[in-house]
Structure 1
Amino acid sequence: MSEQTPLLSIRDLNLHYHSSGGIVRAVDGINLDIHRNEALVVLGESGCGKSSLAKALLRLLPRNVATYSGQVLLHGKDTMPMTEERFRRDVRWSRISMVMQAAMNSLNPVVRVGEQVAEPLRVLQQWSRPKAMARVAEVFALVGISTDFLQRYPFELSGGMRQRAVLAMALVTRPELIILDEPTSALDVLTQASIMNVLKRIKQETGTSYLMITHDVGTSSELADRVALMYAGQLVETASASEFFNEPAHPYSKLLMASVPRLRQTERPGAIPGQPPSLLNPPDGCRFAARCPSRFDRCLADPPPMALNERRRVSCWLFDREAPA
């Protein structure tokens, strides 16, 4: 296997849902790579499909799935043909784990925290309880929790400590990739900064890769090596973090960055006009066209390809060589 092979490759991934109004195209043809020891941040407005992307990668699928297709390649091997039992045993939580939104809802209120963090080791890897608890103590130290908390219940922990406990649960099996779904959304600013520092230190010390899903541009910039921007179920731009935050290319990216308040700016932050399209009946052309100040006729008729170059991809006719000037 080549050293250049991505840790995880997503190819033409689709996750559509049945609903009373029709088919919801939540994840619609996503192509993305995540490399070793990389923090990839997936940004986008609420309802754009970010959390559905995470569920698709871990097969945490609801009952109303209409379409689930594409390829999810781990070290170049497609996991989609795996049976559910093999995927549960070999991939989910063993090699790819997840920190869910709302940490308190992820913890059983009547089971001690240490026992919950040890559960993946006991169930998936059949470790004895003493061995598993010793590993939990190691991970607690890594995320900055005293071993005194092993015997505590979730309601005895602060919001920040619960978030660290959920992070410890994701780390306990030594996965190669951790999916972080809005990991700081319910925390105050100081606790957010503390959790982000923990994540950066873990990445540096263990080489773990992250896929962080968020709509918080400011927080994500602390961790990101690369950024992927989603809009209405599709990717519109992927770039290095420095390129994206300093020189956004897609019109949506530019408007999004202009809407972020900055410490020393004198002008008021901008706003993105209009509303995202319905995922029940998305437009035929560019899905951002109705809100885009740079649109022209082709944008309304044809979906743009991912263009520009291999290092930076932008889904916009402005970057296609055949588009009119």
Structure 2
Amino acid sequence: MSDRTLLRVEDLHLHYQTRRGVVRAVDGVSFEVRRNEALVVLGESGCGKSSLAKALMRVLPRNIHQVSGRVMLGETELMALSDERFRRDVQWVRMALVMQASMNALNPVVRVGEQVVEPLRVLRRWPRARALARAVEVFELVGVSTDFLRRYPFELSGGMRQRVVLAMALVTEPELVILDEPTSALDVLTQAGIMNVLKRLKRELGTSFILITHDVATSSELADRVALMYAGEIVEVSDAAQFFDAPAHPYSQMLMASVPRLHQEQRPEPIPGQPPSLLDPPSGCRFADRCPSRFKRCAQHPDSFRLGDRRRVRCWLYAGGDER
């Protein structure tokens, strides 16, 4: 693994057991994140993005059918760690998660300052005064008045609550922060404010981010690289400039064609059809039924092919590339 690589995920699976059968939410996902890099995981609702975050952070429900794969954080093999050691040494210490709904992540009857200092008090055994001093630092960092330390979550706006949750994630100075739809419930101006905070944190602290979103416009603000998910798999990984300017996978191309643009006469084109059920995904290419470029070979499951440095596409159209 390169010295610059912070996180490497190889063949990660997360399947749920339900009454209707096994849901293959994350099905053989591989990618890497370098230090001081922002990877955007982009895709439609239900494609497995949030399940990927849960698998990485071990925030798992009870109905797990299978969790497998290899996850390296630096030189540490995370899948080999016991739950106790993962909680003590990794969770909220080296990796932190910003949940999708900020109000669900906060205790409504506890002042936000007490919630922000909790990781320091529990995991690092810091005295309360030292932990509160650190909370003041991170509040200033994310643009929240320190007066809000004594407020309850319901006294804050949605944007302020999201910044508080971000402060909770940053208080232990983790190497990697995973953000699950951090701006989905916010107005456009507040979204822009949150994204500006993230860009400043990346620039000033060198923090690495995984941003999970379905919003192409939001993702372009922060992304160094993009991983596009479809039906539990990653179908394209590439540098952000390559992805937004010249997407390779047919799904990537159709997704970008569906996005409205200010300085473009061509109207957005919707993607026809629906994603397949993750209870019984197709044995071949999972995008084939919606793909205008499908051909006979698409009845087989495609490999992931390399197209130059750090770009991979899961599509038979690129079978001339180097196989993963």
Bin the TM-score by the shorter chain.
over 0.9
Aligned residue type for 2:292: P
Find the aligned partners of 2:34 and 2:209 in 1 and give their Cα distance.
9
Q: How far apart are 1:301 and its partner, in Å?
A: 2.7
Find the aligned partners of 2:2 and 2:294 in 1 and give their Cα distance.
41
Q: How far apart are 1:38 and its partner, in Å?
A: 0.3
Give the corresponding residue for 2:57.
58
Give the corresponding residue for 2:134.
135
What SS is found at the alignment partner of 2:267? Answer: coil
Find the aligned partners of 1:267 and 1:74 in 2 and give their Cα distance.
44
Conserved in 2, the CA contact under 8 Å of 1:39 and 1:224? yes
- 2:110 aligned with 1:108: no
- 2:192 aligned with 1:179: no
Give the corresponding residue for 1:281.
280
Find the aligned partners of 1:303 and 1:222 in 2 and give their Cα distance.
31
Q: How far apart are 1:267 and its partner, in Å?
A: 2.4
RMSD: 1.1
Alignment deviations for residues 46-93 of structure 1 (CA, whole Å, 9 cap, x no partner): 000000000000111111100100111010321111110000000000
- 2:214 aligned with 1:208: no
Find the aligned partners of 2:76 and 2:155 in 1 and give their Cα distance.
43
Conserved in 1, the CA contact under 8 Å of 2:33 and 2:39? yes
Give the corresponding residue for 1:84.
83
- 2:194 aligned with 1:195: yes
Aligned residue type for 2:235: V
Conserved in 2, the CA contact under 8 Å of 1:122 and 1:128? yes
Alignment deviations for residues 125-181 of structure 1 (CA, whole Å, 9 cap, x no partner): 111110100000000000001111110111111111101000000000000000000
Find the aligned partners of 2:299 and 2:161 in 1 and give their Cα distance.
46
What SS is found at the alignment partner of 1:253? Answer: helix
Equivalent residues in 2 for 1:241-252, closer than 5 Å: 241-252=240-251
Percent identical across equivalent pairs? 69
Conserved in 2, the CA contact under 8 Å of 1:284 and 1:303? no
Q: 1:112 to 1:302 in 2, by over 3 A?
A: closer
Q: How far apart are 1:303 and its partner, in Å?
A: 2.8
Q: How far apart are 1:308 and its partner, in Å?
A: 2.3
Gaps of 5+ in 1: none
Aligned residue type for 2:3: E
Aligned residue type for 1:42: V
What SS is found at the alignment partner of 1:7? Answer: strand
Equivalent residues in 2 for 1:1-325, closer than 5 Å: 3-4=3-4, 6-321=5-320
Find the aligned partners of 1:14 and 1:218 in 2 and give their Cα distance.
29
Aligned residue type for 2:29: I
Find the aligned partners of 1:302 and 1:222 in 2 and give their Cα distance.
33
Aligned residue type for 2:280: N
Runs of 4+ off more than 6 Å = none
What SS is found at the alignment partner of 2:167? Answer: helix
Find the aligned partners of 1:89 and 1:206 in 2 and give their Cα distance.
23
What SS is found at the alignment partner of 2:292? Answer: coil
Alignment deviations for residues 245-303 of structure 1 (CA, whole Å, 9 cap, x no partner): 01101000000000000112222201111100010111111100010000001102333
Conserved in 1, the CA contact under 8 Å of 2:26 and 2:51? yes
Aligned residue type for 1:270: E
Aligned residue type for 2:227: A
Conserved in 2, the CA contact under 8 Å of 1:160 and 1:191? yes
Find the aligned partners of 1:127 and 1:64 in 2 and give their Cα distance.
36
Find the aligned partners of 1:176 and 1:283 in 2 and give their Cα distance.
37
Q: TM-score, normalised by structure 2?
A: 0.97
